[in-house]
Amino acid sequence: MSDQKEIVSKRAETLGGYVLHNVPFPRELNEETLALLKQMEPILIEQPYSITYLHSYGQDSPFFAGLTNKVFLGSREPETGYTYATPRGHCMYSGQETEWVRFPDEGTIHAFTVCHFGSEEFLPECPFVLIQVEFEGADTLFLGRLLGVDPYDATTDWIGKKVKAKYLRLSKFKPTDVYFVLTEDS
Amino acid sequence: MRTVYAVSGGVSKFAKSRPDKTYPAIVKEAYDYAIADIGLEHPQFFELVDGTVASYFSDHFARQLMAGIIAQDYLGMCPKPSHRVEGGGATGGICFQEGWKAIASGYMDICLCYGFELMSHVETWKGNEFIALASDVSFDYPVGGFYSGYYAMMVTRHMAEFGTTVEQMAHVSVKNHINAYYNPYAQKRNRYTIQDVRNAPMVAWPLTRLDICVMSDGAACTILCSEDGLARLEKAGATISRPLVKIAGIGRGTDAMRMADRPHQSYEDFYRYNALPNEMDDDSRAYYKELWDRGFRYPGVHSFRAGRMGSKEAYQNAGLTDPLNEIDFVELHDAYTSSEIQTCEDMGLCRYGEGGQFAASGKAFMPGIDYGLDLPEESVCPVNPSGGLIACGHPVGATGLMQAVFAIWQLQGAIGKHFGDPALQVPDARCGAIHSHAGTGTYVTVSILERE
């Protein structure tokens, strides 16, 4: 599968091109030519839109500080022990503030997919593998990327396999600062 | 609560792109159709209507804040009261229910609900990015924000948990596309085979392009009224078809934004909070006990607790206890073939874990239509007789209202009149359910409509 070549038979539609400064329009406006305007094709213009947000991780910030120090942190309700693999400042059941707890670097694959397409931002990375990771002792899951598997050989047998966390040396302060690979015994 | 009637509706032709008109003008197409269907013109209806509810999902797609008031203005509804609702993919369903609330509470006697989305103004993969911003931007989006990917993860868990197959999912695609073949409002009117679905380009394993709904430009609207509103409409010369269609009950549910945070509840808690009346028998209890003994937990990432709770509340309000046999058709949010399977379980048309078999059984297919499939069972409760989101398209703010319009026409027995072909008319339809769904199952609305 992985050496299959895709033969492209259709040109991709893209924006861009020449800048148009004039469109055909009747030289003389009268009852007849004004009525003809109803037959006009619509004018389409490009409107670029770009913005940089200053996004705060707020109470979840220590999680990202942990990743840059190769530590995976989760949240635990201090009394009930309900444990969140994706950090959460307050418990959804008791309403109490959670405490930080260090997680092991190993978990198992609870669910997965291979994205052969994606949102525009992630298209250059396709195909990539998304997994929901299950950690022993945790009550919820964590969404991450799995590397080191053949994306063209997906099978539900991947579910239940053990994975190990790896950390980027040069942090981007994103949840992808941690990613996962299969353990040697999986 | 007062009785609420759904007396008319209109839908624009859903299309990949509608550059010929601005969105308010496309909403007007749906509105003009709805008032014309009861024999009124705008100046007459304007004198009668008490207010409106506007529905659209994304300020990003519109690149226009307060787009609702522009539609209100263009329709000529100013200065009547109105507000915009937003709840992801469920926006249209929420709009319909807000209209119901306005009437049921006595605040209004006649309410217009309208919704729209124009998704063609950005390229497909930018559109996917906009939609993915409806996932947690700290923990979900940056990992590879892509809704088809999120749903595909649910699928793999469903497959591992219950043995659901890609061929069972493909049955949903074949059914909904062939249904839409008879629906002139649908965007995709094609006949496909199971093999076509599996051979289509892989998008997010195991979901192919034909397992997934398309982006769309479109609008829809419904007219709701009370007994007094009905009398006012008819006194003004409106022709309201009989038997009347009433909204027998509504329900809503929610769940955690991040799929990873969904609980993994015990059997006891499932029966305490989530089980439907038709799951209270000994056989179902034994079935579920066995599932839990094998490691099943609820809802996990394979089931939509919000859809279950919305169904439970709606059924209770409408007095339904046996949905498969009491509901004559369902228009549900099949953004993915897999989510139709998951939703059939949530709505109690089958038990959790039986959705794959149910999808391929024939029970959810229309009678009298040749699907080119060897279906072992007869039609019991057609699911998405219109073609659903997969074939009609999914202009988000319009979608839930489109379902309402098709349900009204089914219950009025008027599918032949509006589609120009009676093939999709559910025989003797008396009760229909519409289901609108957001995110990875965050907001879900279920509304029950009945013929009086």
pLDDT per residue as tens digits for the range B38-78: 999 999 999 999 999 999 999 999 889 999 999 999 999 99
Q: Is the pLDDT of residue A17 over 90?
A: no
User: Could you tell me which residues come within 8 angstroms of residue B253 by beta carbon, excluding any fewer than 6 positions away?
Assistant: B305, B306, B307, B308, B309, B310, B311, B312, B313, B443, B444
Q: Is the pLDDT of residue B283 over 50?
A: yes
Domain contains A121: yes
Domain contains A112: yes
At residue A152 the predicted structure's pLDDT band, cuts being 50, 70 and 90, is very high
At residue A20 the predicted structure's pLDDT band, cuts being 50, 70 and 90, is confident
Proportion of chain B in helix, strand, coil states, percent, rounded to 5: 45, 15, 40
* A25-64 residues touching B, CB cutoff 8 A: 42, 44, 47, 49, 55, 57, 60
* Residues spanned by the domain of A103: 58-182
Domain contains A88: yes
At residue B219, what are phi and psi to the nearest 5 degrees? -145, 155
Domain contains A9: no
* Element holding B219 (H helix, E strand): strand B217-225
At residue B101 the predicted structure's pLDDT band, cuts being 50, 70 and 90, is very high
Q: Do B260 and A55 touch (CB under 8 A)?
A: no
Tokens 């759904």 -> residue: B6
At residue A1 the predicted structure's pLDDT band, cuts being 50, 70 and 90, is very low
Tokens 């013109």 -> residue: B41
Number of inter-chain CB pairs under 8 A, A vs B: 141
Distance CA B259, CA A131 (A): 12
Chain A hits for B19, CB-CB cut-off 8 Å, are 42, 44
Q: For chain B, how far is it from start to end, CA to CA, in angstroms?
A: 17
Q: Which of A2-11, A48-57, A111-120, A167-176 has the lowest mean pLDDT?
A: A2-11
User: Could you tell me which residues come within 8 angstroms of residue B101 by beta carbon, excluding any fewer than 6 positions away?
Assistant: B107
Tokens read off for A148: 């080191």
Beta-ladder partners of B10: B221
Q: How far is B43 from chain A (nearest CA, A)?
A: 24
Helix (H, G, I), strand (E, B) or coil at B223: strand
At residue B413 the predicted structure's pLDDT band, cuts being 50, 70 and 90, is very high
Segment B19-47 mean pLDDT: 98
User: What is the greatest pairwise CA distance in chain B?
Assistant: 64
Segment A39-46 mean pLDDT: 92
Q: Do B260 and A141 touch (CB under 8 A)?
A: yes
Query: How confident is the prediction for chain A on average, in pLDDT?
Result: 94
The one-letter code for the residue type at A131 is: I
Q: Do A57 and B144 touch (CB under 8 A)?
A: no
A118 inside 8 A of chain B by CB: yes
At residue A48 the predicted structure's pLDDT band, cuts being 50, 70 and 90, is confident
Total domains in the fold of chain A:
1
- Flag whether the ipTM exceeds 0.90: yes
Chain B hits for A144, CB-CB cut-off 8 Å, are 143
CB B211 within 8 A of CB B169: yes
Which pLDDT belongs to residue A63?
A: 98
Q: Do B260 and A88 touch (CB under 8 A)?
A: no
Domain contains A141: yes
Q: In terms of CA atoms, which chain A residue is nearest residue B264?
A: A139
Which one of A55, A80, A123, A156 makes the best mutation probe of the B interface by having the most chain B beta carbons within 10 Å? Answer: A156
Query: Model confidence over B138-157: pLDDT tens digits?
Result: 999 999 999 999 999 999 99
Which pLDDT belongs to residue B311?
A: 98
At residue A18 the predicted structure's pLDDT band, cuts being 50, 70 and 90, is confident
Beta-ladder partners of A113: A130
Which pLDDT belongs to residue B234?
A: 98
Q: Do A119 and B145 touch (CB under 8 A)?
A: yes
Q: Which of A88, A119, A156 sits opposite B128 (nearest CB)?
A: A119
Segment B128-132 mean pLDDT: 94
Q: Is the pLDDT of residue A3 over 70?
A: no
Distance CA B371, CA B360 (A): 12
Which one of A130, A131, A147 makes the best mutation probe of the B interface by having the most chain B beta carbons within 10 Å? Answer: A130
Which pLDDT belongs to residue A4?
A: 61
**Full set of structural domains in chain B with CATH:** 5-122+215-245 (3.40.47.10)
For helices B166-180 and B337-346, give the axis angle rounded to 10 degrees: 100
Domain contains A110: yes
Distance CA B377, CA B82 (A): 47
Which one of B17, B151, B261, B298 makes the best mutation probe of the A interface by having the most chain A beta carbons within 10 Å? Answer: B261
Query: How confident is the prediction for chain B on average, in pLDDT?
Result: 97
Q: Is the pLDDT of residue A2 over 50?
A: no
Q: How far is A184 from chain B (nearest CA, A)?
A: 23
Segment B361-377 mean pLDDT: 97
Distance CA B434, CA B331 (A): 5
Tokens read off for A125: 């990375």
Closest C-alpha among B132, B184, B214 to residue A123: B132
